[in-house]
Amino acid sequence: SIYLDYNASSPVEPRVLEAMVDIYKNNFGNADSRTHDFGDHARSVVETARKQVSSLLGVSTSEVFFTSGATESNNIAIQGLQTYALESGKNHIITTSIEHKAVMETVKVMSERGFIVDFIDPESSGRINVAKVLKKVCANTLLVSLMHVNNETGIIQPVKELGEELSKQNVLFHVDATQSCGKLVQEIRELKYNMLSFSAHKLRGPQGVGVLVLRKKEYKLPPVKAIMYGGQQEHGIRPGTIPVALVGGCGKACEIAEIEYKKDEAKLSAIKMSLLKLLEDSGLSYSFNGDQKYCLNNTLNLCLHGVSSEALMISTKQYCSVSNGSACTSKNYSPSYVLVSMGIPIEQIENSIRISWGPETNMGELEKEFFRMLSVAKSLAE
């Protein structure tokens, strides 16, 4: 069976796993127990990981805060601004209708608490129009939150252009880089933002750990306060005992990504070309969800005309693990809100699947299983 759901979670890279096992075996101390070597050694694992993350992102180590994952990072980045909002009188948030639920649901709660939230719809290309965002910015605007790459479509968003524009204004900019971290390495380094989130498990690190970057603009961190209380870990931004092995694994995954992303990029693109060729040769009628000109090379969101994605997934489940949306919402099926907001008709959404792969995806195996899946699709086509 071939795994083609990397955007939901990627397998842990063997070198990451090896590093983590070593930490679990030999570095089980609490990184904040500073009265003995066990604590000191654990602390040094955490600080090495912080260096690895900061090196990948091109930020300073004092700007990296470990969290339990992108969901928590997004929550801190958004909810953590409430005190500042009260102090500054700024109560307007701009985001988009294609964000992950971790942003979407958080800003919805903020609107229940009195914030005014604007959701910008994407163009049919799957991309957000920068001018539409900028038009909404006003004196009360506290925050703009835009994802770097959409998890369902793989469409790269214009965070670079938007960051450039927003940096000239007194507005905070948050980027959910969960799907791009470790892939669009150079682009992330050049972005202008105040806050950035990601989860380690999307770049072959472990599940349950992530990062919130708080950029020091003029040597001052964004006015983010903790949303959970306890210890002073991560400067109180994320209290609770630091999961040393998870953090170490996150660091190792970032280190590997930094060294290998160019090579990986070529592999991911080659896989995409081969999938597109098989698709073309299949004779099936299909269309892409999202303009492929802007699509990341590890994702394909595809509509196979006349083929119910549910029927296709049930029939091919044993050997092909694709999805029809984000994993977080796939239990109770309702048409993807991302595709809906792109203006794609419901019938087409019901015939859509998402395929996402990674650097260790075996090309030969993939071709074999994808071909098999397309044959089933042909038999299901109305």
Q: Cβ of residue 343: shortest distance to ligand PMP, in angstroms?
A: 21
Residue closer to ligand PMP (CB basis): 50 or 201? 201
Where do the DSSP E strands lie in the chain? Answer: 2-3, 64-67, 92-96, 116-120, 141-147, 172-176, 195-199, 210-214, 286-288, 299-304, 320-321, 352-356
Region of 12-20, 64-72, 80-88, 119-127 interacting with ligand PMP (CB under 6 A): 64-72
Among 151, 194, 308, 351, binds ligand PMP (CB under 6 A): 151
Q: Which CA distances in Å does 295 have to 125, 237, 289, 298?
A: 10, 34, 10, 8
Q: Cβ of residue 198: shortest distance to ligand PMP, in angstroms?
A: 8
Q: Cβ of residue 10: shortest distance to ligand PMP, in angstroms?
A: 11
**Cα(98)–Cα(10) distance, rounded to whole angstroms?**
22
Region of 174-182, 222-230, 248-256, 330-338 interacting with ligand PMP (CB under 6 A): 174-182
Taking residues 312 to 351 in sequence order and writing x for each that binds ligand PMP by CB under 6 A, - otherwise, the string is: --------------x-x-----------------------
**Cα(112)–Cα(19) distance, rounded to whole angstroms?**
44
**Cα(12)–Cα(199) distance, rounded to whole angstroms?**
13
Residue closer to ligand PMP (CB basis): 16 or 42? 16
Half-sphere exposure of 202 (CA within 13 A, CB side): 26
Q: Cβ of residue 328: shortest distance to ligand PMP, in angstroms?
A: 6
**Cα(95)–Cα(144) distance, rounded to whole angstroms?**
6
* Number of helical H runs and strand E runs in the chain: 13, 12
The reply on whether position 146 binds ligand PMP by CB under 6 A is no
Residues whose CB falls within 8 Å of the CB of residue 267, separated by 6 or more in sequence, listed in order: 359
Residue closer to ligand PMP (CB basis): 177 or 256? 177
Question: Which residues between 85 and 144 bind ligand PMP (CB under 6 A)?
Answer: 100, 102
Among 54, 79, 82, 199, binds ligand PMP (CB under 6 A): 199
Q: Cβ of residue 157: shortest distance to ligand PMP, in angstroms?
A: 10
Where do the DSSP E strands lie in 101-226? Answer: 116-120, 141-147, 172-176, 195-199, 210-214
List interacting residues with ligand PMP (CB under 6 A).
Answer: 69-71, 100, 102, 147, 151, 176, 178-179, 199, 201, 326, 328
